[in-house]
Amino acid sequence: MPADPRFFLRAGPFSLAAVVEAAGGTVRGAPADPARLFVGVAPLQSAGPDEVSFLDNRRYAEALRATRAGAVILHPDMADRVPAGTIAIAAAAPYLGYARVAAMFHPEPPPRPGIHPTAVVAADAEIGEGCEIGPYAVVGAGARIGPGSVIGPHAVVGPGVVLGAGCRIHAHASISHCLAGDRVVLHPGARVGNEGFGFATTAAGEHVTMPQLGRVILGEGVEIGANSTVDRGSGHDTVLGPGTRLDNLVQIGHNVRTGRGCVIVAQAGVSGSTTLGDFVVVAAQAGLVGHLSIGSRARVGAQAGVINDVPPGADVLGSPAWPVREFWRAVARLRRLAGGGDGKAAAGTGGGEEAG
């Protein structure tokens, strides 16, 4: 069953050879015609003979057995489990391969160059070649938007903001006080450059705003989820390193800095002046206090409350956060103390998996 054509453009069809190349894999088992055509991608459970699917997780091995997909991208170890009639495309990284094949069949619609008559674009704003500026978008004085970018309906690009090439600022997002690289994406309702939560309090209890005089620097390829909020710096800048991705409803406080490729999952929050290295993962609903240093490749678990620095590569969980192993040991002890069994089977039957 193909992706709903009301919502998704489709390119192709593409040959098996093209699919195999995009997937970075090789065909296993019976020889197959490299010119065989495929029209799209679909999950195992709904794919048809002219569609490509993938298997990335043994949990779905049953779905593999029952699939009608014409081809499945999967790990070499699983290649012999495809049903008769399904071509096995073995790839070391099936999920990545499928991402590339799916993007081949469903490329992001290119910008439709032009400025909607209702867009309000300041006279001295510079709009790069091939940009699409949508209905009711507002582009402020002195802003610069790189070529091939898309500014969606009602998006607001503030005065002086600089965006690189190929950026996508979706409907209702707003961005101010910001310098962004190429291919930066703000999903609907994202808010970048807001005044951070800084104020001094008089003896009488009156809060006096501390002017927030920094900016937000977004590296190339940074993506910010729907309704997430990234505050500008107070004097220094707030910096998200290249390739860093924020999910929805994430809060980034003033002066936070991340390295490259960090991943911050839904509803997590990073308090002001905390620094993340490269490839740090902060799971859903976690919170980090301010002025911490989180080392590269550290992983902060779901709902964790981090109050200390975390060394590179460490895994922490709990509130306050501990090394993961100790966290589970504490849960097990507490469980026994309360007269129950093992902490991990704490609720109900069967298994789920850790947040991911």
Window 264 to 293, contacts with its own copies (CB under 8 A): 265-267, 269, 271, 274, 278-279, 284-285, 287, 289-293
Residue whose token pair is 């399904």: 86
* Contact predicate 186/173, CB 8 Å: yes
CB of residue 31 to its own copies, shortest distance in Å: 28
Q: Is the dihedral of CA 110, 114, 117, 123 positive or negative?
A: positive
Q: Which is nearer to its own copies, 32 or 93 (CB)?
A: 93
Q: Which is nearer to its own copies, 59 or 65 (CB)?
A: 59
Distance CA 87, CA 105 (A): 18
Q: How far is CA 27 from CA 48, 80, 88, 93, 153, in A?
A: 18, 11, 6, 14, 44
Contact between 76 and its own copies (CB under 8 A)?
A: no
Of 154, 177, 254, 291, the active-site residue reads: 254
Q: Which is nearer to its own copies, 32 or 120 (CB)?
A: 120
CB of residue 30 to its own copies, shortest distance in Å: 26
* Contact predicate 56/98, CB 8 Å: yes
Q: Which is nearer to its own copies, 77 or 206 (CB)?
A: 206
Kindly report the CA angle at 126 between 120 and 131, in degrees rounded to 5? 75
Contact between 6 and its own copies (CB under 8 A)?
A: yes
Q: What is the footprint of its own copies within residues 8-67 (CB under 8 A)?
A: 8, 41-43, 45-46, 59
Q: Which is nearer to its own copies, 36 or 245 (CB)?
A: 245
Question: Is 254 annotated as catalytic?
Answer: yes
Whether omega for the bond prior to residue 320 falls within 30 degrees of 0, making it cis, is: yes
Contact between 4 and its own copies (CB under 8 A)?
A: yes
CB of residue 28 to its own copies, shortest distance in Å: 21
Contact between 260 and its own copies (CB under 8 A)?
A: yes
3-state SS class at 96: helix
N-term to C-term CA, the chain: 27
Q: What is the footprint of its own copies within residues 171-210 (CB under 8 A)?
A: 171-172, 174, 176-177, 187-189, 191, 194-195, 197, 199-203, 205-210
Q: What is the footprint of its own copies within residues 308-337 (CB under 8 A)?
A: 308-311, 314, 316, 318-323, 326, 329-331, 333-335, 337
* Contact predicate 185/203, CB 8 Å: no
Contact between 306 and its own copies (CB under 8 A)?
A: yes
CB of residue 163 to its own copies, shortest distance in Å: 13
Distance CA 80, CA 57 (A): 15
Site string for its own copies, 225-254 (x = CB under 8 A): xxx-x-x--xxx------x-x-xxx-x-x-
Distance CA 137, CA 175 (A): 12
142 torsion bin: left (phi>0), alpha (psi -120 to 50), beta (else): left
Contact between 135 and its own copies (CB under 8 A)?
A: yes
Q: What is the footprint of its own copies within residues 92-111 (CB under 8 A)?
A: 93, 95-96, 98-100, 102-103, 106, 108
Q: Which is nearer to its own copies, 131 or 161 (CB)?
A: 161
Residue 102 structure tokens: 């799916």
**Going edge to edge, which strands form the sheet with 305-306?**
120-121, 138-139, 156-157, 174-175, 191-194, 229-231, 251-252, 269-270, 287-288, 305-306
Q: Which is nearer to its own copies, 29 or 61 (CB)?
A: 61
Q: So which residues are the catalytic ones? A: 254
